[in-house]
Amino acid sequence: MIFTGIEILFFSLGVLSTLAIGLIYYYNQKLKFSVPAWTTSILGAFLFIFGIAWAFSSVLEGEPRAASMGLIVFVIPSLILLLFSRKLAIRKSTGK
């Protein structure tokens, strides 16, 4: 194998982080985030990326249960946070 699992992971994390920053920037331009929307979106994006990194790493080290737990403990709360941030952003935008 030319690229090892950990190399692919960190390359993917770079792509994910860039996408996350881009999306937050794009929606901020569109919806003008409030402070709570900024906080929840940044926290949610960070937790999502962290959860993906955790799960991927756990698969690499051969611990599938740790990977699933990583998805439950980090990724599900991150999705809730991101949905919440969307709601906050939309509420502010429509409230204008």
- Binding positions for other proteins, rule: CB under 8 A: 4-7, 53-54, 57-58, 60-66, 69-70, 73
In the complex, what is the shortest distance from the CB of residue 73 to other proteins, in angstroms, rounded to a whole number?
Answer: 8
Q: Which is nearer to other proteins, 62 or 95 (CB)?
A: 62
Estimate the crossing angle of helix 35-60 against helix 76-95, to 10 degrees. Answer: 160
- What 3-state DSSP class applies to 24? helix
Pair of tokens at residue 6: 């950990």
In the complex, what is the shortest distance from the CB of residue 70 to other proteins, in angstroms, rounded to a whole number?
Answer: 8
Q: Which is nearer to other proteins, 9 or 92 (CB)?
A: 9
Any residues with CB less than 8 A from the CB of 20 and at least 6 apart, and which?
45, 48, 49
